[in-house]
Amino acid sequence: MTADTAMTVITNAPRRDVRNGARRDPVVSQGLALLAGISAGPGLAAHRGRLGPAPAPRVDELVQLARDVDLRGRGGAGFPAAIKLASAARRKAVVVVNASEGEPASRKDAALMLLAPHVVLDGAAAVAHALDTREVHVVVPSELPSIRVGIEKALRDRVGSGERIRWKLHDAAPRFVAGQAQAVLQLLAGKKNLPVTAWQPEAVSGHKGRPTLLSNAETFAHLGHLARVGADGYAAFGTPGEPGTTLVTLRGDGSDPEVREVAFGTPLTDVLTQAEMARPLLLGGYHGTWLKPAQLQGLGVSRRDIAAAGATLGAGVLLPLDEGGCPLVRTEALVDYLAGQSARRCGPCMNGLPAMAEAVRDLVHRAGPVARVEELCGLVVRRGACAHPDGTARLVTSMLRRFPEEVDAHALGDCSAGRSEVFA
């Protein structure tokens, strides 16, 4: 791209690093169910004193409970836990707890693993009992060594207390796609921690071809809690249609990240500040969807309400736009980061995401064509081993859809950063 023909938009939007060099530890508030005991510390004795032994449900009981409360996976896709459990309930099953949390703006699994490790591990033990297996793998992020240290101690304490589970710990590579299910299975097999094509769901044929229940760490915490308190106890929080709680990460890549456990149905006004409610919100993380302030009014932390608004809760990541920010400039930085996170294995992702980053950069700063951005989004979707290109296209598509006036403004060399009312 030559500079002489380019029209450069001068923006006053803050251009911070997408992923802060020094990640700040999130502030974690005492929670309703999963995070109810964090003030007593992460130790096993305090945990057992408060909640007793790990639950030991039969598989049909656990499947029924998960069905009763419509428990969904908390890794982002929201797949029904009951279906996954029932599919994996065959001979020689393996359990995999995925705490790798590759999404840079999500900190909730880190919070769980650091502050309530036995809530997660009890869930994994309950699932292992239900599936009649003793093999449980735990995948932790290698860029946060404190989690590994904490989990090593937690597992030593459990084995020391007589628990007959063969726990195996694995370190996930520090990249966005390392936590994807097939990439985790590669890691367990001693191969590169990168996605490969899945010809069958891992619950059918996963680790070493065995039925594999691979879920996000928070999902195990919910399964353990559910097995302990039953469907009625679980429904003490939430709404009749969506019982229970969920973990959310607020401003996860910013300077004041926060993790909270909220009941389903909690109004967004209870989660975001008044100022944040008046700004665009990126919901669901870097693979998520933009919502305009007008769409936030009356919205709650509810999978259904959020789906009706054309977004998904994903792994519970809420990223309000910075004060004085421009959603286009923010998206441009995110796409640039996501393009760099491609594993560079699948052609459409390896070529398409850098091209998309360039097309978005042109759109934002040089009045580049919207059509080229749309074309590239279409070219990468469903053309890879994992959902990284699809998620990136989702982010970009939502930017085009929610902020057409701002796209027009940039085409004229303008930028509305600092005038947040125009994004309403």
- Tell me which residues touch other proteins (CB under 8 A): 194-197, 199, 343, 345-349, 351-352, 379, 383-385
Which of residues 152 and 390 has its CB atom nearest to other proteins in the complex? 390
The least CB distance from residue 380 to other proteins, in Å, is: 9
* CB closer to other proteins, 282 vs 346: 346
> Please, which residues have CB within 8 angstroms of residue 165's CB and are 6 or more apart in sequence?
125, 128, 134, 135, 136, 158, 159
Residue 278 near residue 424, CB atoms below 8 Å: yes
**305 near 286, Cβ under 8 Å?**
no
Give the shortest CB-382-to-other proteins separation in angstroms. Answer: 10
Q: How far is the CB of 420 from other proteins (least distance, A)?
A: 38
Distance, CA of 275 to CA of 224 (rounded, Å): 37
> CB of 346: closest distance to other proteins in angstroms?
4
Strands laid side by side in the 317-320 sheet = 27-28, 258-263, 245-250, 317-320, 281-283, 289-291
247 vs 380, which CB is nearer to other proteins? 380
Closest distance of CB 352 from other proteins, Å: 8
Burial class of residue 88, CB neighbours in 10 A (0-12, 13-18, 19+): buried
Q: Which is nearer to other proteins, 129 or 388 (CB)?
A: 388
Euclidean distance between CA atoms 296 and 405, whole angstroms: 19
> Whose Cβ is closer to other proteins: residue 42's or residue 352's?
352
Q: Which residues does residue 249 pair with via DSSP β-bridges, in sequence order?
A: 259, 317
The total number of residues shown for the chain amounts to 424
Q: Quick one: 156 or 344, whose CB is closer to other proteins? A: 344
Least distance from other proteins to the Cβ atom of residue 378, Å: 10
d(CA 272, CA 281): 10
